[in-house]
Each structure stands twice: as structure tokens, then as C-alpha cells.
Structure 1
Amino acid sequence: MSAQPVHQHSANEPRVPRTIGGISDALRGGRRAQFFAELLEAQQGPELDGVLTAWWGRAVLDTDPQRDRVRTAAETGTLPTTTMDDIARRRQERAIS
């Protein structure tokens, strides 16, 4: 038996399309209404782009299949953590290999 991803998407396609509809479809609960409220108040240009970018990030997190597990681990203090020094060391090790 092999594990298959719950949400099928290719590496070239984002899990959530960077569109108003894609973001709206991905948001959980009352967050969708909050998204539309901010969207309707934003002026075309950088302000609207900022709203879409911020909410796209939230939508990606809302659709993460591991979201609930990670949140629970963070709240209970059992989420594995690392230091920037460890990250830098691992990156350097990978570059050498």
C-alpha cells in the first residue's frame, strides 16, 4: 500500500490559484467573509495586490493537509524546532554533497 496525497497538484501548479475565486474557495469558515470585506475596500493597484498576496498565503495554510496536526503540536509545545545555525549547517552539507 502506498500513501497518496489528499490534494492532487503538480509541482508547477500552486495548491491554491492566485485568483480571487481560488483564494475564496480555499479559505475556511468566516475567513472568507473577512477576505471579501478587505477585498472590497482595497483600491486597485498596490493595495489590492497586498490584500490578494496576504490572503493567498492564508488560503495556502488553510488547505495544508497537515494544518490541524501542526497547529496542535505548536499549541502543546511538541512541534519540532530548529535553529538558524542548524539550517545553515544542513544547507552547506547539501551543497557539498
Structure 2
Amino acid sequence: MSAQPEHPADPRVRPLPHTIDAVADALTGAKRMAFYAEIGQAEEGEPLNATLRKWWMEAMFDQQPGRDQRLADAAAGRGLTSLPHPVGGEE
């Protein structure tokens, strides 16, 4: 048995545990501070769960290589792809 990842060339990002500590560790700088401020104000139950889910997704997106460049390209209208019309939709 090896301590190496099973698929070292796998481009997928491993999911983070859904815990406050795991999310905070994955965020940096201003995002981490915003997370702590928001999670600290969330009430027990669904408000806390929803806040944790929101920031968990943000932390997962941040792990995707090239995310900042893709967002900048989309904002600038570069490299966009046209989507086909829905079935039965107007041309």
C-alpha cells in the first residue's frame, strides 16, 4: 500500500470536509476574514448550515486551477461559447 494518491494526474480537486476549520483553512486573506465574520453571526440550524455551504463552495471553486483567469476572461467577454437553442425554442 502506498501513501501516494491513487490517480496522481487526476485534475479533479478533492472535496473539503464540511467543517468550519476545513473551509477556513482553504480560504485565504479577505475571504477567510469574511467567512469568519459571516459564520460567527449565523444562528444555529439552517442559517449556519447555509453559510457553511456557501463558503464551502467558494473554497472548492478557489481550488480550481486557473479560476481567476477564467473569471477575468468571462467578465471581459473573451473565449465565450454560444449555447444551442433549447428544444422547441425560438431561433
Query: TM-score, normalised to structure 2's length?
Result: 0.70
From the two aligned structures, give the one with the greater helix fraction: 1
CA contact (8 A) 1:28 1:62 kept: no
Q: Which residue of 2 aligns with 1:68?
A: 68
Aligned length: 80
**Could you tell me which amino acid in structure 2 is paired with residue 40 of structure 1?**
G
Q: Which residue of 2 aligns with 1:20?
A: 20
Q: Do structure 1's residue 36 and structure 2's residue 75 form an aligned pair?
A: no
List gaps (5 residues or longer) in structure 2. Answer: 1-8
Query: TM-score, normalised to structure 1's length?
Result: 0.66
Question: For the structure 1 residues 6 and 84, does the alpha-carbon distance in structure 2 shift closer, same or farther, using more than 3 Å as the test?
Answer: closer
Q: CA deviation at 1:7?
A: 7.2
List gaps (5 residues or longer) in structure 1. Answer: 89-97
Q: CA deviation at 1:22?
A: 1.5
- Output the aligned Cα RMSD: 2.5
Please list the CA deviations of residues 19-45 of structure 1 after superposition, one character each: whole Å capped at 9, or x if unmatched.
111111111321101101111111110
State the distance in 1 between where 2:21 and 2:60 align: 13
CA contact (8 A) 2:42 2:51 kept: yes
Question: For the structure 1 residues 28 and 42, does the alpha-carbon distance in structure 2 shift closer, same or farther, using more than 3 Å as the test?
Answer: same
Question: For the structure 1 residues 71 and 27, does the alpha-carbon distance in structure 2 shift closer, same or farther, using more than 3 Å as the test?
Answer: same
Question: For the structure 1 residues 37 and 69, does the alpha-carbon distance in structure 2 shift closer, same or farther, using more than 3 Å as the test?
Answer: same
Q: CA deviation at 1:48?
A: 0.2
